[in-house]
Structure 1
Amino acid sequence: MADMVYAVVPVLSVVLTGLFAGLFFAFSIAVMPGLGRTGDRVMIEAMQRINVAILNPFFAVVFIGAPVVLLGQTLLHWAVGRTTAAWWAGTGLVLLVLVLAVTFAVNVPRNNTLDGAGTASRLADPAAVRAGFEPVWVRWNHLRTLASAGALLCTALAVTAG
């Protein structure tokens, strides 16, 4: 049983961290550039709907599961004396914690403000609402993308470390 845990946890860590990074990457290279080419009301309404749709069990498993499993990977590597692997996994975990901090400090409050602005079709000044949301949200999402991609790299290096 222990052998299975030592085999499954690192692989699951890579998979979940990959999905975690892929989510932010997709927003950076496709979702936000695509929405950037739309009108103000369309962009606002789409993001409001995305903010509701993303809160689902699959997202929760990845968003919470990746750091939890990466913590498990770090601890498992330490427990068996694989210190190099533990350091890589721990560095990946730190990067994911950074992503979570940015998410809750910057992106979620912007999402909440956007949602609180009201229905896009009824906004008096949708351009101002968009301007207060999009540039900062996108900039910080790029940081989340880079940090989570770095976490994926560290997680993979932890699996391959001797």
Structure 2
Amino acid sequence: MATLSEIVLIAAVITAGLIAGLFYAYTCSVMPGLGRADARTYVTGMREINIAILNGWFGLSFGGAPLLAAVAAALHFRAELRPALPWLITGFALLLVMLIVTMAINVPLNNALEAGFDRDNTDFAALRAKFEGVWERWNLVRTLAAIGGFGALVGGLIVHVRA
């Protein structure tokens, strides 16, 4: 029977994989696809994506991954589980970086895009120019942090199972 530490760790791995996959999809398909569109389509598309993504499924993985990683790490302070702890702390730290980058940089950029949007009176090219490059660079940072966090949690799971 699975222990609480195993259940939480597996949940952390799953949620971290989901959020890493989401940001990876943005990096390799969504943003390059939008990048090929004209400025009006880019801005409108990004705005609609920003609205659509605010849902429980996103929240579950975005907030759940670092929270579950922290709980998994806390549950591994017992001596017999401690070998997995460095992996879990690393996973948590990287997922925390993902969360901080998103909240400190990507979300304010999303909000600025929304604030500058008026379907009939927007200078779409100017709005896109202020948003696109910065948002995409920081999306890459959070993508790499999320992938690293996921990988570290997988490493922790492997060490946990072997211990």
Q: Normalising by structure 1, report the TM-score.
A: 0.94
1:142 aligns with 2:140: yes
Gaps of 5+ in 2: none
Report deviation, 1:113: 0.3
CA drift of 1:80 comes to 4.5
Q: Look up the SS of the partner of 2:76 in the other structure.
A: helix
Q: How does 1:5-154 map to 2 (within 5 A)?
A: 5-123=4-122, 125-154=123-152
How far is the alpha carbon of 1:23 from its aligned partner?
Answer: 1.0
The C-alpha deviation readout for 1:13-36, integer Å capped at 9, x for no partner, is: 110000011111010000000000
What stretches of structure 1 of length at least 5 have no aligned partner?
none
How many residue pairs get matched?
160
* SS of structure 2 residue aligned to 1:122: coil
Can you list the C-alpha shifts for 1:43-86, whole angstroms capped at 9, x where unaligned? 10011111111000111111111111111111111135422311
For each residue in 1:101-137, what CA deviation from the matched residue of structure 2 results, as whole angstroms up to 9, or x when unmatched? 11111101100000001234431x2111101000000
| Cα distance in 2 between the residues matched to 1:61 and 1:98 | 17
Over aligned residues, Cα RMSD in angstroms?
Answer: 1.4
Task: Give the ranges of 4+ consecutive aligned residues of structure 1 lying more than 2 Å apart after TM superposition.
Answer: 79-84, 119-122
- Mapped to 1, the partners of 2:22 and 2:48 lie a distance apart of 16
Question: Could you tell me the percent identity over the aligned residues?
Answer: 41
Residue identity matched to 2:26: F
